[in-house]
Structure 1
Amino acid sequence: MNSKLHPTALISEKAIIGNNVTIGAYTVVNDNVVIGNNSTIEAFCELGVENTLCDGSPLILGENAYIRSHSVFYAASNFGKNLVTGHRVTVREKTTAGHNFQIGTLGDIQGHCEIGDFVKCHSNVHIGNKSKIGNYVWIFPYVVLTNDPHPPSDVLIGCEIQDFAVIATMSVILPGVQIASDTLIGAGSIVGKNVETGWVVAGNPAKPVCEISKIKLKDGSGRKAYPWRNHFHRGYPQHEVEKWLSELNL
């Protein structure tokens, strides 16, 4: 299978390892794991951790995954192609994500989450249990998606973040809050109410600031900063960019 498996790695014979896979030193790959072709798992990781909340289904990593060192992924989760993580990431059971998902260093996904395509989470992001995240969402460092309306309790109500939303650094989204598409949550915000499409909210408690279309790029061009896909295309496939520009009549 042309894979490079470090001699110190502990890899179950029941695990399914694709072609051209690299697994680093002292990494543990448990029974219930499927690793797609052309993936890299760095040193000191553990894949397929089981607990009482797992249902026996495998951890599935799509092709071209890149998992950096000291990361831990539980069983019963499924990721599309091109998953990329930073170091020391934790992902709990029953998380599903589309392709091109990025999780920054020290990212923490608490399981039972639904995540779309091209979601980008920077470092130290905490995604609470039962969160739902759409496509092309940006979540910046130290953001927290919460889920318990009166902690500690067994009542869990996840947040919902819709397509193209941007959540700036140090923000907290409170349980059950829905962030609509094409919105911006300002840095350091505490968001306790739903946010409508096309708005900027900021503050503690977060309140509407303006329509997102009124924000200009600070590059002297006078161009609108949002929708951000008007001008920011790095890392996205050309066919997606062309689709965006067509939809925006650009």
Structure 2
Amino acid sequence: MTVHPTALVSPKAIIGKNVSIGAYSIIHDNVEIGENTIIGPYCELGVTNHLSEGEKLSIGPDSHIRSRCTFYEGSKFGNNLITGHSVTVREKTSAGKNFQIGTLSDIQGHCSIGDYVRTHSNVHIGQHSRVGNFVWIFPYVVLTNDPHPPSEIMQGVTIMDFAVIATMSVILPGAKISEGVFIGAQSCIGGETEADSFYAGSPAKKIGPASKIKLKDGIGEPAYPWRIHFKRGYPAEIIEQWNREQL
């Protein structure tokens, strides 16, 4: 373990092998960090409050948390977590492996997130959101949860596998974004969607099958399902599985 002289690391924290902790970072008691993880400067991990119910913050191995990130206790992340800068993650968030959180993004807690989820910068994920596997969420997207704010009622958003939410879209409380759905930029959408479809507008309406959107590469092949043509950043075994599905 490599700890910068200005960092504060609780002796009660469980720190794996080959972990690096940057300048002025604070690691509280109820934290477990997996091996080969990098914690940047000015981070705070394991912030306590009554909502965490004393549960541990667990960061999986081979992760990279960049500067000025804040994680509350009571959350669990799989291996290869990667963040941008100034990310906030509240309590009771569970995420699978290879989760990427963009700079200035905010996860409000009590959320479930699958494997290989990618969120870009300035994404807000409201409480009780449920996000599947291989989901893409682009900048300035907001997942809401209060059907008539302010109230004590929370209806979290559900986003299924392989869905894509484009820039500056708002997903309304209780909405279900089905598998393979593409939500166009600056859309506002509620209710339940049909799988592998394209929605756009405010309020968003179904435009048609997502497969009708063509790549702007001169060839004009379908852009969706995106895993037919986009493989970057995914392991060989996942790509092989996708290739078999297309046969």
Identity %: 61
3-state secondary structure, aligned to 1:229: helix
Q: Over the residues paired in the alignment, what is the CA RMSD in angstroms?
A: 0.5
Post-superposition shift, 1:214?
1.1
Q: Which residue of 2 aligns with 1:48?
A: 46
User: How far does the alpha carbon of each residue in 1:224-250 deviate from its partner, in whole angstroms, 9 at most, with x for none?
Assistant: 11100000000000110110111121x
CA displacement, residues 74-132 of structure 1 (integer Å, 9 cap, x when unaligned): 00000000000000000000000000000000010000000000000000000000000
- Structure 1, 35-44 or 215-224: larger mean CA deviation: 215-224
Q: What does the per-residue CA deviation read over 1:208-232, in whole Å, with 9 as the maximum and x for residues that have no partner?
A: 1111111111101121111000000
Structure 2 residues without counterparts, runs of 5 or longer: none
- Give 1:21's aligned residue: 19
Alpha-carbon separation, structure 1, partners of 2:70 and 2:8: 14
How do residues 220-239 of structure 1 correspond to structure 2 at under 5 angstroms?
220-239=218-237
Task: Give the whole-Å Cα distance in 2 for the aligned partners of 1:216 and 1:189.
Answer: 20
Q: Which moved more, 1:213-222 or 1:184-193?
A: 213-222
CA distance in structure 2 between the aligned counterparts of 1:41 and 1:7, rounded to whole angstroms:
14
So what's the TM-score if we normalise by structure 1?
0.98
Q: Tell me, yes or no, if structure 1 residue 194 matches structure 2 residue 184.
A: no
How far apart are 1:146 and its partner, in Å?
Answer: 0.1
Partner of 1:156 in structure 2?
154
Task: Name the structure 2 match of 1:82.
Answer: 80
**TM-score, length of structure 2 as denominator length:** 0.99
Letter aligned with residue 38 of structure 1: N
Counterpart residue identity of residue 240, structure 1? I
Q: 2: CA distance between counterparts of 1:190 and 1:226?
A: 21
Give the secondary structure class of the aligned counterpart of 2:194: coil
Q: Which amino acid aligns with 1:132?
A: R
Partner of 1:213: helix, strand, or coil?
A: helix
Runs of 4+ residues deviating >6 angstroms: none
> 1:54 & 1:243 partners in 2: Cα distance?
37
Match of 2:244 among 237, 243, 246: 246
**1:36-95 CA deviation, whole Å, 9 max, x = no partner?**
000000000000000110111100000011000000000000000000000000000000
Q: 1:165 aligns with which of 163, 166, 171?
A: 163
Separation (CA, whole Å) in 2 of partners of 1:103 and 1:54: 21
Q: Residue 58 of structure 2 aligns to a residue in which SS?
A: strand
The match for 1:72 is 70
Q: Distance in 2 between matches of 1:119 and 1:207?
A: 25
1:20 counterpart SS class: coil
Unaligned runs of 5+ in 1: none
SS of 2:52's partner is: coil
CA distance in 2, matches of 1:114, 1:192: 19
Q: Quick one: which amino acid aligns to residue 50 of structure 1?
A: T
SS at 2:208's partner residue? strand
Partner Cα distance (2:82, 2:158) in 1 = 22
Residues in 1 aligned to 2:190 and 2:38: alpha-carbon distance in whole angstroms: 39
How far does residue 193 in structure 1 lie from its aligned partner after superposition?
2.2
